[in-house]
Amino acid sequence: MSMQRMVIAPEVARALAAHRAVVALETTVVTHGLPQPRGVQVARDMEAAVTAAGAVPATIGMLDGSVRVGLTDEELDRLAATPQVPKVNLSNFAATLVARGTGSTTVAATMLAAHHAGIGVFATGGIGGVHRGASETDDVSSDLTALARFPVTVVCAGAKSILDLPRTVERLETLGVPILGYRCDDFPAFWRRSSGLRLDERFDDLVLLAEAIRAHHALGTGTGILVANPVPEAAELDEEIYDRALSGALELVQSQGIRGRNVTPRILEYMQTATGGRVIDANIALLIDNARVAGELAVALARG
């Protein structure tokens, strides 16, 4: 099955044809997860981190009705400058394409596009998952659906910690998605290095991690894999500041009855103000570090 209206940048296509290391990057975190112009700058810094690791970056987004795998600087600027740019996930993907729309791809949509393009490694910040209160709202990110369906390895700093982390981890287990820790013993909590929740295995060595990824794909279950890489120590948010800001954000969402796709952007906005921007610094640091690790991992995988 080939994806309609997919444009792969020449450099990415050449790397894929030569079986060289390629890393996919998403755009929702750029346009919705960070304020501009820092979002766009971070996207470029992530690309640079992938390149420095010896891999080719492929930033993915939707522009005027085509899926771009490897956005140019100019295209990324155009995407970020689009007013009210929509978040494209699995359910609105095809409709946005046909409507000749422009949109930022979430982890789910980026995994889908990466899979169709033949890219096996993807770096992001934190995946979406089971929201708090999901037993009532049923708000569960399609990122989990994508992880269950597309055999792409996602390097992240855990799930967004505004989520119900224990239930997110449970769901990943149900879906058969391995959570492999890179130099960490438990599931990271995005702005914090540790959540106290278990992961499937710790790896300290990228060659072994690559072997585990190959072994999982050989099982033929068809799922993706999560590689958990905690926020660098120097950028980790202070526990007290974090707890206070998170409680405030959750209260706001509840009291204002914010739902669905609006939850994440509103919470992030609140947390940015409540921590004097420290969440942004942590967010940027972990994104760039994940891009670096994904680049190194892609190189290890390409070596075979």
Which residues of the chain form contacts with Mn ion (CB under 5 A)?
Answer: 139
26, 47, 75, 236: which one is catalytic? 26
Q: Cβ closer to ligand PSU: 13 or 58?
A: 58
Q: Cβ closer to ligand PSU: 40 or 206?
A: 40
Q: Which does 193 bind (CB under 5 to 8 A by kind): ligand PSU, Mn ion, none?
A: none
Q: Are 40 and 32 contacting, i.e. CB atoms less than 8 angstroms apart?
A: no
The CB-nearest residue to ligand PSU is 33
Q: Cβ closer to ligand PSU: 157 or 302?
A: 157
Q: Which does 107 bind (CB under 5 to 8 A by kind): ligand PSU, Mn ion, none?
A: ligand PSU
75, 160, 236, 296: which one is catalytic? 160
Q: Cβ closer to ligand PSU: 14 or 41?
A: 41
Q: Which does 223 bind (CB under 5 to 8 A by kind): Mn ion, ligand PSU, none?
A: none
**Spatial separation of the C-alpha atoms in residues 108 and 142, rounded to whole Å:** 6
User: To the nearest whole angstrom, how small is the minimum distance from the Cβ of residue 90 to Mn ion?
Assistant: 11
Distances (CA, A) of 4 to 1, 66, 108, 113, 223: 9, 8, 17, 10, 23
Q: Cβ closer to ligand PSU: 141 or 275?
A: 141
Q: Which does 143 bind (CB under 5 to 8 A by kind): ligand PSU, Mn ion, none?
A: ligand PSU
Q: Which does 160 bind (CB under 5 to 8 A by kind): ligand PSU, Mn ion, none?
A: ligand PSU
User: To the nearest whole angstrom, how small is the minimum distance from the Cβ of residue 256 to ligand PSU?
Assistant: 17
* Residues at the contact surface with ligand PSU, assessed by CB under 6 A: 26, 28-29, 32-33, 89, 106-107, 125-126, 128, 141-143, 160, 261, 264, 268, 283
- Angle subtended at Cα 298 by Cα 292 and Cα 300, rounded to the nearest 5 degrees: 105
User: To the nearest whole angstrom, how small is the minimum distance from the Cβ of residue 125 to ligand PSU?
Assistant: 4
User: To the nearest whole angstrom, how small is the minimum distance from the Cβ of residue 282 to ligand PSU?
Assistant: 10
Q: Cβ closer to ligand PSU: 29 or 206?
A: 29
Look up 173 and say whether it is catalytic: no
Count Cβ atoms below 10 Å from residue 50 Cβ, excluding itself. 31
Q: Which does 33 bind (CB under 5 to 8 A by kind): Mn ion, ligand PSU, none?
A: ligand PSU
DSSP string across the chain: ---TTEEE-HHHHHHHHTT--EEEE-SHHHHTSS-TTHHHHHHHHHHHHHHHTT-EEEEEEEETTEEEES--HHHHHHHHHSTTPPEE-SSSHHHHHHTT--EEE-HHHHHHHHHHHT--EEE-S-B--BBTTHHHH--B-HHHHHHHHS--EEEESBB-TTB-HHHHHHHHHHHT--EEEES-SEEEETTEEEEEEE-SEEES-HHHHHHHHHHHHHHT----EEEE-PPPGGGPPPHHHHHHHHHHHHHHHHHTT--GGGHHHHHHHHHHHHTTTHHHHHHHHHHHHHHHHHHHHHHHHHH-
Look up 87 and say whether it is catalytic: no
User: To the nearest whole angstrom, how small is the minimum distance from the Cβ of residue 131 to Mn ion?
Assistant: 7
User: To the nearest whole angstrom, how small is the minimum distance from the Cβ of residue 133 to ligand PSU?
Assistant: 13
Q: What are the catalytic residues? A: 26, 160
